[in-house]
Amino acid sequence: MGTLLGIARHARPKAPMEVIDHARVTPETGIAGDFRGAMKGKPYKRQVTLIERGDWDAAMAEVGHSIGWQERRANLLVDGLDLPQTKGVRLRIGADVVLEITRETDPCERMEALADGLRAALTPDWRGGACAMVITGGEIAVGDDIRIEA
């Protein structure tokens, strides 16, 4: 079991990330207020993105920088849980929210604008994170438990 350390969202493409301490999550909208969660196409397989704190820290060490995790543009920062690298695995956050892993989050060219070599540092072993779709909605908050569903 791990812990949800951070929640972030952005209202439109290329908008700054807003770090928040709790959020409503639904199958229709993803994280409330995040433009990506309500994208067209059912099911939309990139509603929520997750990254492990240890992977972000390792990438930062590799490029010699200290940049806030939200600049990765991920929605959820997870600690103490090795995110599954398998499509279809489900995660439960808090009491109600269930996400299903759909694919790896591919690091984009925007990472190079943050630090030279960051895109490459996020590429191995799903270090850039995982994409997920919302199966069951509810409320999440920083500090919630996150675990793999059996």
Residue appearing with tokens 């499509």 = 87
Distance (Å, rounded) from C-alpha 132 to C-alpha 142?
Answer: 18
Helix or strand holding residue 112 (H, E): helix 110-114
Is the CATH number of domain 2-148 3.40.50.1820?
no
Residues in the chain: 150
Amino acid 108: pLDDT:
79
Amino acid 41: pLDDT:
66
Residue appearing with tokens 């207020």 = 33
128: which residues sit within 8 A by CB, 6+ positions away? 51, 55, 72, 104, 105, 106, 107, 122
Ordered per-residue pLDDT tens for the chain, 150 residues:
999 999 999 999 889 999 999 999 999 999 999 988 877 666 677 899 999 999 999 999 999 999 999 989 999 999 999 999 999 999 999 999 999 999 999 887 788 878 889 999 999 899 999 999 999 999 999 999 999 996
Nearest residue to 31 (alpha-carbon basis) of 99, 80, 102: 99
Amino acid 89: pLDDT:
97
Handedness of CA 115, 120, 125, 129 (dihedral sign): positive
Amino acid 145: pLDDT:
98
